């Protein structure tokens, strides 16, 4: 594997010069000649969800489209999602890997890149205004794209897959029973921990037998994930259970392990205080979605930290079969803070989703063949590609559209300037349609490939309007901040040590989260807190902290160098003079000054 990696790095250096400029390759590997035209062929590994069907064969609509547009033909290995990782690992191990896969996530891709199984995407492919991946690159602003590269690149500074745009900017907030708040004269959702305690006390006095704060099944993935609203109140990122470290958006301080800090201790004290008062669901660390739904149906929850677009569903479940019941859930842009003098934290979603297509090592040996594939994936990011991947094939007959009778061959029509699925086709934004009864794009047209961005009309119909409204509301608040996602590039040895330490620390951390909550261990007691720190040190806390510091500082220096080199390459590609030096990163700022993304 080491030798393969050395070869991969050497060939990538040659390819970086020739990939985009090359044409008319004499290579015959991976192509067929059809009607005098070269069609490049690829073996695509992709996972399937549940029993989802696909139109097979090269006469399917999607197959014909990519053959005509890009001289591309795909042969599929469709693997059930639960088997995908195991089977793909095996295919690499025995040398039977696919040319391209769209099923993995960033940690898998970075691991496979380290082992020499993946081909790097040449910098020229995403450099300059007229690069081969220009539309994919344009999904982000120039500044955001630099951040995406910094985060998605592997430890060798190479990019090994094409990330997907994260269209949601903010999704999660405090949700509450507005009708109950109104009944008790509570005019708005609280803004501080002390105010939240007082509101919970008022609710508990009025409803002594009810649960005040519960969660929508978030505790089933990790014991602490149900209390992430409290994390943020104490300036700890919502995703700290997997990220561990953060940079304070006001002070710029790097915190290598968050859940043993003084702020974490104060958060644990608050949880115990709220729990002792009977405000928090006793099952908050184990509750599932069905149990939470029963809480709603029984009027047995008044506050939860959840997704903004679940409000309507929460209200429906609370009303049940009694449509006239007075029940109204609402979302609030008031995040709770323990430090009102410092500001308030909200969760800004990442700039990208860490999955997308990756390409196996060796594909770069035929630049023309690689180019054809990159061209196809770039098209998925265009407005035309987004529309096709989201809605399929448009009906252009105005008479049939007017009559409401579209041909079975067409999946959508333009209605008042917006795409709309034709009758009989499944529409994920319409709860009245049924996957089992209506036609599916995958079944009728074939694979849609990778979807770097959902077409905007569909995204807005599903959740886009709600998440945009929440984000705008957060951004309008004074002194609201969010955390920047931190690039951390581990070498192979560091990655293994990180994984080993993480397992041990997570187990001990989760044990104490529950013990603090139940009162078995009291975070107010110095001896108990010191016992927690001691036990964490025994399983490697100090080594983990030193590892994080080392990787953070080194990664930061690497990225500064890469950004300077990329700026020079961009200028050269666009025929401009290269900048003298890269501009320094701005210090973190309040939300109204566009803070960095988590």
| Torsion-angle region of 57 (φ positive above 0: left; ψ -120 to 50: alpha; else: beta) | left
220 with 334, same domain: the answer is yes
Q: Decide if 151 contacts 158 (C-beta within 8 A).
A: no
The rounded distance, in Å, linking the Cα atoms of 116 and 112 is: 6
CATH of the domain at 535: 3.40.190.10
267 with 317, same domain: the answer is yes
252 with 381, same domain: the answer is no
C-alpha to C-alpha distances, 373 to 100, 103, 145, 334, 499, nearest whole angstrom: 9, 16, 21, 46, 34
The rounded distance, in Å, linking the Cα atoms of 266 and 193 is: 11
Domain, as residue range, for 231: 172-347+483-550
16 with 127, same domain: the answer is yes
Handedness of CA 249, 253, 259, 261 (dihedral sign): negative
CB atoms within 10 A of CB 78: 16
Helix then strand then coil, in percent of the chain rounded to 5, is 45, 15, 40
Residues 478-515: pLDDT tens digits?
Answer: 999 999 999 999 998 999 999 999 999 999 999 999 99
180 with 291, same domain: the answer is yes
Instruction: Provide, rounded to the nearest whole percent, the portion of the chain with pLDDT above 70.
Output: 88
In a domain, 444, yes or no: no
In a domain, 213, yes or no: yes
pLDDT of residue 16: 36
CB atoms within 10 A of CB 455: 18
35 with 181, same domain: the answer is no
In a domain, 404, yes or no: no
The model's pTM is 0.85
| Torsion-angle region of 24 (φ positive above 0: left; ψ -120 to 50: alpha; else: beta) | left
380 with 499, same domain: the answer is no
pLDDT tens per residue across all 598 residues of the chain: 333 433 333 333 333 333 333 333 223 368 888 778 899 999 999 888 766 789 989 999 999 999 999 999 999 998 988 899 999 999 999 999 999 998 889 999 999 999 999 999 999 999 999 999 999 999 999 999 999 999 999 999 999 999 999 999 999 999 999 999 999 999 999 999 999 999 999 999 999 999 999 998 766 567 777 899 999 999 999 999 999 999 999 999 999 999 999 999 999 999 999 999 999 999 998 888 999 999 999 999 999 999 999 999 999 999 999 988 999 999 999 999 999 999 999 999 999 998 999 999 999 999 999 999 999 999 999 999 999 999 999 987 655 544 444 467 899 999 999 999 999 999 999 989 998 899 999 999 998 766 899 999 999 999 999 999 999 999 999 999 999 999 999 998 999 999 999 999 999 999 999 999 888 999 999 999 999 999 999 999 999 999 999 999 999 999 999 888 888 888 887 776 555 544 444 434 444 433 333 3
Residues 530-586: pLDDT tens digits?
Answer: 999 999 999 999 999 999 999 999 999 999 998 888 888 888 877 765 555 444 444
In a domain, 307, yes or no: yes
Count of domains forming the chain: 2
In a domain, 565, yes or no: no
pLDDT of residue 518: 86
Helix axis angle, 2-18 to 367-380, nearest 10°: 80
Mean pLDDT of the chain: 88
């Amino acid at each position: 594997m080491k030798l393969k990696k050395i070869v991969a790095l050497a060939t990538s250096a040659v390819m970086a010069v020739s990939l985009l400029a090359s044409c008319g390759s004499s290579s015959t590997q991976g192509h067929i000649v059809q009607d005098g035209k070269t069609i490049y062929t690829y073996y695509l590994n992709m996972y399937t969800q549940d029993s989802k069907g696909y139109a097979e064969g090269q006469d399917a609509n999607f197959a014909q489209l990519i053959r005509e547009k890009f001289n591309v033909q795909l042969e599929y290995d469709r693997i059930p999602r639960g088997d995908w990782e195991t089977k793909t690992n095996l295919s690499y191990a025995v040398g039977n890997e696919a040319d391209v896969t769209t099923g993995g996530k960033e940690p898998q891709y970075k691991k496979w890149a380290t082992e020499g199984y993946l081909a790097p995407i040449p910098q020229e492919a995403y450099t300059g205004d007229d690069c081969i991946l220009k539309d994919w690159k344009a999904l982000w602003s120039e500044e955001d794209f630099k951040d995406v590269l910094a985060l998605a690149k592997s430890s060798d500074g190479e990019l090994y897959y094409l990330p997907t745009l994260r269209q949601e900017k903010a999704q999660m907030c405090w949700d509450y029973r507005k009708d109950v708040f109104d009944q008790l004269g509570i005019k708005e959702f609280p803004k501080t921990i002390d105010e939240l305690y007082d509101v919970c006390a008022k609710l508990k006095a009025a409803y002594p037998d009810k649960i005040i704060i519960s969660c929508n099944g978030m505790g089933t993935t990790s014991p602490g994930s149900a209390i992430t609203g409290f994390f943020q109140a104490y300036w700890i990122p919502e995703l700290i259970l997997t990220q561990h470290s953060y940079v304070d958006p006001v002070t710029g301080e790097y915190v290598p392990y968050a859940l043993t800090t003084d702020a974490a201790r104060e958060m644990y004290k608050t949880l115990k205080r709220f729990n002792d008062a009977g405000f928090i669901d006793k099952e908050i660390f184990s509750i599932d979605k069905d149990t939470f739904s029963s809480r709603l149906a029984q009027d047995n929850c008044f506050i939860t930290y959840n997704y903004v677009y679940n409000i309507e569903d929460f209200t429906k479940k609370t009303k049940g079969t009694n449509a006239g019941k007075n029940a109204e859930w609402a979302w609030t842009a008031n995040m709770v803070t323990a430090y009102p003098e410092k500001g308030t934290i909200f969760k800004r979603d990442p700039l990208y989703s860490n999955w997308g297509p990756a390409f196996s090592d060796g594909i770069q040996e035929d630049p023309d063949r690689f180019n054809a594939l990159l061209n196809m994936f770039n098209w998925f990011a265009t407005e035309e590609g987004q529309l096709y991947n989201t809605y399929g094939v448009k009906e252009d007959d105005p008479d049939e559209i007017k009559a409401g009778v579209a041909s079975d061959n067409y999946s959508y029509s333009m209605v008042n300037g917006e795409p709309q699925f034709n009758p009989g086709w499944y529409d994920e934004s319409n709860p009245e349609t049924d996957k089992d009864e209506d036609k599916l794009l995958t079944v009728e047209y074939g694979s849609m490939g990778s979807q770097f961005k959902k077409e905007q009309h569909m995204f807005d119909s599903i959740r886009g309007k709600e998440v945009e409204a929440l984000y705008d509301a957060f951004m309008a608040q004074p002194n609201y901040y969010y955390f920047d996602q931190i690039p951390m590039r581990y070498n192979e040895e560091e990655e293994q040590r990180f994984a080993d330490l993480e397992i041990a620390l997570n187990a001990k951390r989760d044990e104490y989260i529950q013990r603090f909550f139940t009162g078995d261990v009291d975070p107010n007691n110095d001896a108990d807190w010191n016992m927690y720190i001691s036990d964490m040190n025994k399983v490697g806390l100090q080594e983990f902290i030193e590892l994080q510091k080392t990787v953070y500082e080194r990664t930061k220096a690497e990225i500064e160098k890469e950004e300077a080199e990329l700026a020079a390459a961009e200028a050269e590609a666009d025929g401009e003079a290269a900048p003298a030096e890269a501009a320094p990163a701005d210090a973190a700022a309040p939300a109204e000054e566009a803070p960095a993304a988590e």
